């Protein structure tokens, strides 16, 4: 029995599996967070509580477009490295980072503009905790892919050898997609 | 295989013994042993806490301990046994055994493996530092708010607890991911999923449960920290929060955790019994399936810890039904073990076999009281009494520690290369078995007579003096039995006879290599054709030696077809440095210092960056 001598690459590398399982744990974390929100929401007579305005859905929608949209350049970045184009990968990742920073800027504005805080009541606690938890993940994802940019300059990746890029991109997509669930629960569901 | 191959492999995989490699090693065998020894130290500490409590409870109205001390002792006893002893011990054993059982040379990510050990050690010290500063956790191992909230627990006791558990969950999650990838990707050629040893099946399901159960616990602890230190209101009824949210989140972790503790034990029993009954296990597919089903159903029964909280009856009925259903896969396993013993040749009554059979006896008793608790009215009558203390010690001590001792004796020759004394082993079994029942059986009766759990003393009017004294005597006997296990281990390490590769005549791959195994595990990667390779295949070796560099064999997920040679990372100090960085973050949070927390986060990120940089493209 003999083994082809190939470098680990593509979706089958152990690193990819490791990242996928880490994302499963993270999804459970966000699932728990949103379930906690709904648990307290259905115990409350009015939601949001009296005197607290609904989250700004227009601003939220713009943020959503920016963040979820940033997955598109990330996909192009993956395609770039698969075809051996480091430059395409670097430019696309940079675009994704800029879009994510735009998302974080909108979030920062919402924090400062809100008329309530996490101390006001359980609604405020849930709202700010879930948003902050997600924002920390966006920052984490930005750091991961920014580090991939640095490593690509040092020649760590090529057409055959880029499992770390795929793992980083997978994490990026996870952070974007989980935001859709958060947007649905925090911004849209209180209106019904 | 020629010795030239082995010399070459030793050159690639070998490590200098001594302190330098101590801090850098990624060898799963060294890390596994380290996990086991550290967890046993925590077992000893948890045992001392139990002994102090039994000393206090031996007579009514005793004043050896203050109520405050008693609170700290029972909180740390539960926390230690669950989080710092049994779970890490089983993780460590799996760390040692799983790569050998699946016929590979290391875990999928050796550096992450080192990292998860260091985090475990750090979190254990963090939790125990409470005693040093006179503020050990004191809110019980499930820490219900509002009692553990900012108003009723103002000290740092519960901050130590909740931050310590968040810290520890990093280790548990990362370790579980490492195990899953190892089992999925590194099995020897021919070891399809349907041929995987049952112990590996059990650890595979356990690791999945860890990945899915730790996040609710972590999230609950984050919320508790925010409520305590940043003024949020998650568990505060006055502001729209709800203490029941904590209970749901905690038990959404907590009940699966019972099976995270129990399934590895089941895996050990399913390994030990066929070896000593001298035949393959009866009903392999049913036992494997029962393991998976237990893992799934375990996520649907958590509310049975909350039957007395006033939830709607319809909901309770659902959870009562689920709690009764979960006994079915356990029953399947028990009957498979009994059938294996009956249909096998005359069993060898060695120490591991005795512990495995002792486990079946006490676990069935614990299972019976478990079914009683699944019934809502009965639960509401006896919950929070000593009856529940008796029940969960039968399933946790009986269900996990007995199999653990079976496993530790069974694999002692493999891990140390020496045999232990059967005479001392049997003595320790009988001391522990008798002492265990004398300690915990009377607690059923005390509970029915109305003795509440977690109270530091009781009145002579309750009529439980004699039972309590009996229970305390039993605890002393158990303690003696465990000390005897330790004496046996130390004595055998020093002067035990050399063990051969396969002293039991067992079937699984870890017995195919020398005892203790070389750094590289196997000279050539075995190619397996059945479930019991050592019984079925006289010649296991292959020409897969992978001597070109530090490499292991990657195979396909379901059929274990050889796929590629995977490069493995060299030893490194970065996992330790990263773990120290995390420790600094958690200490800063405990001290409430934002600048220190930010600084240590940056340092930790720098270490993680260096770690990934250092790997280049190697998984690690």
Q: What is the pLDDT of residues B130-160, one digit of tens each?
A: 999 999 999 999 999 999 999 999 999 999 9
Query: Tell me, what's the pLDDT at A11?
Result: 45
Interface predicted TM-score (ipTM) of this complex, two decimals: 0.95
pLDDT tens per residue across span B317-364: 989 999 899 999 999 999 999 999 999 988 889 999 999 999 999 999
Confidence of residue A4 (pLDDT cuts 50, 70, 90): very low
H or E stretch covering B567? strand B562-567
Judge whether B2 lies within some domain: no
Q: Clarify whether residues B191 and B306 are in a common domain.
A: yes
Rg of chain B on CA atoms, in Å: 24
Query: Does residue B553 sit in the same domain as residue B581?
Result: no
Same domain membership, residue B443 and residue B581: no
Do B546 and B594 fall within a single domain? no
The residue to which tokens 């320790």 are assigned = B428
The average confidence (pLDDT) of chain B is: 95
Q: Are residues B522 and B585 in the same domain?
A: no
| Residues B618 and B503 both lie in one domain | no
CB contact under 8 A, B565 and A163: no
**CA–CA distance, B334 with B201 (Å, rounded to integer):** 17
B18 confidence band (pLDDT: 50, 70, 90): confident
| B15 CA: distance to closest CA in chain A (Å) | 24
Tens of pLDDT along B418-447? Answer: 999 999 999 999 999 999 999 999 999 999
pLDDT for position B312 = 87
Residue A9 reports pLDDT greater than 70 = no
The domain limits of chain A are 59-191
How high is the pLDDT of residue B345? 87
Average pLDDT over residues B18-39: 94
Residue B314 is predicted with a pLDDT of 87
Does the structure show a pLDDT above 80 at A7? no
Tell how strand B562-567 and strand B551-555 pair up: antiparallel
Q: Beta-carbon neighbour count of residue B554 at 10 Å?
A: 23
Q: How far apart are CA A54 and CA A97, in angstroms?
A: 29
Q: What is the pLDDT of residues A109-137, one digit of tens each?
A: 999 999 999 999 999 999 999 999 999 99
Instruction: Identify the pLDDT of residue B348.
Output: 87
The mean pLDDT value for B305-309 works out to 91
Are the CB atoms for A115 and A53 separated by under 8 Å? yes
Is the same domain home to B107 and B237?
Answer: yes
Q: How far is CA B230 from CA A66, A118, B147, B149, in A?
A: 31, 8, 17, 12
d(CA B452, CA B75): 16
Specify whether B209 is located in the same domain as B71: yes
Task: Reply yes or no on whether the pLDDT at A21 is more than 70.
Answer: yes
Domain co-membership, B596 together with B478: no
Burial of B312 by CB count in 10 Å (0-12 exposed, 13-18 middle, 19+ buried)?
A: exposed
Q: Is residue B19 part of a domain?
A: no
- B613 or A34, which is more confident: A34
Residue B87 resides in a domain: yes
Cross-chain residue pair A118–B232, CB shorter than 8 Å: yes
Which residue of chain B has the CA closest to A3?
Answer: B564
Residues B195 and B214 in one domain: yes
What dotted CATH number matches A59-191?
A: 1.20.120.80
- For chain B, how many structural domains are there in total? 2
Percent of chain A scored above 70 by pLDDT? 94
pLDDT at res. B617: 58
**Residue A69 pLDDT greater than 50, yes or no:** yes
List the single range of A7-21, A164-178, B66-80, B302-316 with lowest mean pLDDT.
A7-21
* CB contact (8 A) between residue A3 and residue B565: yes
SS3 at position B448 = helix
Least confident of B13-27, B45-59, B291-305, B571-585: B13-27
- Domain of B297, in residue numbers: 26-222+231-571
Question: What CATH number should be reported for the domain holding residue B164?
Answer: 1.20.210.10
B residues 188-247 closer than 8 Å to A (CB): 189, 211-212, 214-216, 218-219, 222-223, 226-227, 230-234, 236, 239-242, 245
Q: Does any domain span residue B449?
A: yes
The DSSP code sequence of A7-61 is ---GGGSHHHHHHHHHHHHHHHHHHHHHHHHHHHHTTSSSSSPTT-PPP-HHHHH
Determine, yes or no, domain membership for B46.
Answer: yes
Q: Is the pLDDT of residue B616 over 80?
A: no
B314 at interface of A, judged by CB pairs closer than 8 A: no
H or E stretch at B91: helix B87-101
B524-565 pLDDT per residue, tens: 999 999 999 999 988 887 888 898 899 999 999 999 999 888
CA B192 to chain centre: 26
CB-based contacts of A112, cutoff 8 Å, min separation 6: none
Chain A window 34-63: which residues touch B at a Cβ cutoff of 8 Å? 36, 39-40, 43-44, 49
Residues B473 and B598 in one domain: no
Would you state the pLDDT for residue B543?
A: 83
Is a pLDDT exceeding 60 seen at residue A3? Answer: no
Q: Is the pLDDT of residue A12 over 80?
A: no
Under 8 Å between Cβ of A55 and A190? yes
Q: Residue B615 has what pLDDT?
A: 81
The reported pLDDT for the residue numbered A160 is 84
**Closest by alpha carbon to B209, among B302, B102, B116, B76?**
B302
A140 alpha carbon, distance to own chain's centre:
9
Tell me: pLDDT of B113 over 60: yes
pLDDT digits (tens, 9 = 90+) for B43-96: 999 999 999 999 999 999 999 999 999 999 999 999 999 999 999 999 999 999
Handedness of CA B317, B321, B322, B326 (dihedral sign): positive
Beta-carbon contacts of residue B223 (< 8 Å; ≥ 6 apart)? A36, A129, B232, B234, B235, B245, B246, B249
| Residue B5, domain member (yes or no) | no
Give the pLDDT score at A6: 41
Of B240, B544, B563, the CB nearest to A40: B240
Same domain, B338 and B410: yes
Reported as type and span, the H/E element at residue B28 is helix B28-57
In a domain, B172, yes or no: yes
Q: What is the pLDDT of residue B1?
A: 46
pLDDT at B539: 80
In a domain, B17, yes or no: no
* pLDDT tier, B506 (very low <50, low <70, confident <90, very high otherwise): very high
Question: Residue B234 — pLDDT band, cuts 50, 70, 90?
Answer: very high
């Amino acid at each position: 029995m003999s083994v082809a001598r190939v470098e680990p690459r593509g979706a089958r590398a152990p690193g990819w599996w490791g990242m996928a399982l880490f994302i499963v744990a993270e999804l459970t974390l966000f699932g728990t967070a949103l379930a906690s929100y709904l648990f307290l929401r259905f115990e409350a007579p009015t939601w949001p509580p009296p005197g607290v305005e609904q989250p700004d859905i227009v601003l939220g929608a713009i943020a959503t477009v920016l963040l979820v949209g940033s997955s598109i350049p990330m996909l192009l970045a993956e395609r770039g490295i698969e075809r051996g184009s480091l430059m395409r990968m670097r430019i696309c990742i940079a675009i994704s980072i800029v879009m994510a920073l735009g998302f974080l800027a909108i979030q920062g504005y919402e924090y400062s503009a809100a008329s309530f805080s996490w101390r006001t009541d359980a609604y405020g606690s849930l709202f700010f905790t879930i948003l902050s938890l997600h924002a920390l993940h966006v920052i984490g994802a930005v750091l991961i892919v920014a580090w991939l940019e640095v490593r690509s300059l040092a020649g760590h990746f090529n057409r055959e050898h880029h499992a770390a890029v795929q793992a980083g991109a997978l994490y990026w997509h996870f952070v974007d997609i989980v935001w859709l669930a958060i947007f649905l629960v925090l911004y849209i569901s209180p209106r019904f | 295989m020629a010795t030239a191959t082995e010399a070459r492999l030793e050159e690639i995989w070998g490590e200098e013994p001594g302190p330098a490699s101590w801090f850098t090693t990624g060898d799963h065998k060294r890390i596994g042993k380290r996990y086991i020894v550290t967890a046993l130290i925590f077992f000893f500490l948890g045992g001392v806490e139990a002994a102090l409590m039994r000393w206090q409870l031996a007579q009514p109205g005793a004043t050896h301990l203050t109520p405050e001390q008693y609170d700290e002792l029972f909180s740390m006893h539960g926390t230690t046994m669950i989080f710092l002893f049994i779970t890490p011990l089983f993780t460590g054993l799996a760390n040692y055994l799983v790569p050998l059982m699946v016929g590979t040379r290391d875990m999928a990510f050796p550096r992450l493996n080192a990292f998860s050990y260091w985090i475990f050690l750090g979190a254990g010290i963090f939790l125990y530092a409470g005693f040093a500063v006179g503020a050990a956790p004191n809110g019980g191992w499930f820490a219900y708010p509002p009692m553990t909230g900012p108003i009723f627990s103002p000290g740092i006791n519960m901050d130590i607890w909740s931050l310590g558990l968040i810290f520890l969950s990093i280790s548990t999650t990362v370790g579980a991911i490492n195990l899953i990838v190892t089992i999925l990707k590194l099995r020897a050629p021919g070891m399809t999923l349907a041929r995987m040893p049952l112990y590996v099946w059990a650890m595979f399901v356990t690791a999945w449960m860890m990945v899915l159960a730790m996040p609710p616990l972590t999230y609950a602890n984050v919320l508790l920290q925010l409520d305590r230190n940043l003024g949020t209101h998650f568990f505060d009824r006055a502001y729209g929060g709800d203490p029941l949210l904590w209970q749901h989140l905690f038990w959404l972790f907590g009940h699966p955790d019972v099976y995270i503790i129990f399934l590895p034990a089941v895996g050990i029993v399913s390994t030990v019994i066929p070896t000593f009954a001298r035949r393959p296990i009866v009903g392999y597919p049913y036992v494997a399936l029962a393991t998976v089903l237990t893992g799934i159903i375990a996520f649907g029964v958590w509310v049975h810890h909350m039957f007395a909280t006033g939830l709607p009856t319809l909901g309770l009925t659902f959870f009562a039904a689920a709690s009764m259903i979960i006994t079915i896969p356990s029953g399947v396993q028990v009957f498979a073990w009994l059938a294996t013993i009956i249909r096998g040749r005359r069993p060898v009554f060695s120490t591991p076999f005795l512990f495995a059979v002792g486990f079946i006896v006490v676990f069935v008793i614990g299972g019976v009281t478990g079914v009683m608790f699944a019934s809502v009215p009965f639960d509401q009558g006896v919950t929070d009494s000593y009856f529940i203390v008796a029940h969960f010690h039968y399933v946790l001590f009986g269900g996990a520690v007995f199999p653990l001792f079976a496993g530790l004796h069974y694999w002692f020759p493999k891990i140390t290369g020496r045999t232990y004394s059967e005479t001392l082993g049997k003595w320790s079994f009988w001391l522990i078995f008798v002492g265990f029942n004398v300690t915990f059986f009377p607690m059923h009766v005390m509970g029915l007579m109305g003795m509440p759990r977690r109270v530091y003393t009781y009145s002579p009017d309750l009529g439980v003096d004699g039972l309590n004294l009996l229970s305390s005597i039993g605890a002393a006997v158990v303690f003696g039995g465990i000390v005897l296990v330790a004496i046996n281990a130390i004595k055998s390490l020093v002067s035990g006879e050399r063990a051969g590769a396969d002293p039991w005549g067992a079937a699984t791959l870890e017995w195919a290599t020398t005892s203790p195994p070389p750094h590289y595990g196997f000279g050539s990667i075995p190619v397996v054709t059945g479930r019991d390779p050592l019984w079925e295949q006289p010649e296991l070796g292959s020409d897969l030696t992978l001597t070109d560099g530090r490499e292991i064999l990657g195979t396909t997920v379901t059929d274990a077809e050889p796929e590629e040679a995977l490069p493995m990372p060299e030893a490194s100090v970065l996992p330790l440095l990263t773990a120290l960085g995390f420790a600094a973050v958690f200490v800063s949070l405990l001290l409430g210092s934002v600048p220190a927390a930010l600084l240590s986060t940056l340092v930790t990120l720098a270490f993680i960056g260096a770690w990934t940089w250092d790997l280049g493209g190697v998984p690690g």
